[in-house]
Amino acid sequence: MISGKFGEVKRCVERNTGGHFAAKFVPIASAEDRQSIQNEIAIMNKLRHPRLIQLYDAYAYKDEVVMVLELITGGELFERIIDESFDLNETRCIRFMSEILQGVEYIHAQGVIHLDLKVSV
């Protein structure tokens, strides 16, 4: 599906239920990497909000951690916005900003600061 600075994300299917999820494969090159991903998992486990991607499980395997996440389809918001055929009117803009800010407000209320918010890829 997507590769980035902090790993690769692939679509996966749970065999027993047929449920679709995203599997984020995060390489672990050092003890610092392992601690960082463990911290991320601990934070994600305590955050439950409809505007946040949910973590369902995590597995350590050799030199990587696999995080099983809620699957969000539809692509990147930024890609949709810059698409010339997409009508970004004021109402849509307000809705997008409101939904993003609801999630940010929630994590801040939980004492968490998101350090990777960005407007583009």
How many domains would you assign to the chain?
1
**Domain assignment present for 114:** no
Cα separation, 33 vs 6, in Å, equals: 10
pLDDT in tens, the chain (121 residues): 555 556 799 999 999 999 999 999 999 999 999 999 999 999 999 999 999 999 999 999 889 999 999 999 888 888 888 889 999 999 999 999 999 999 999 999 999 988 877 766 5
**Domain assignment present for 117:** no
- Of the residues 57, 83, 87, 116, only one is catalytic, namely 116
> What range defines the domain where residue 51 resides?
2-109
**What is the model's pLDDT at position 5?**
55
**What is the model's pLDDT at position 56?**
97
From residue 8, alpha-carbon distances to 1, 11, 105, 109 in Å are 8, 10, 27, 29
**What is the model's pLDDT at position 120?**
63
**What is the model's pLDDT at position 117?**
76
Annotated catalytic residue 116:
yes
**Domain assignment present for 116:** no
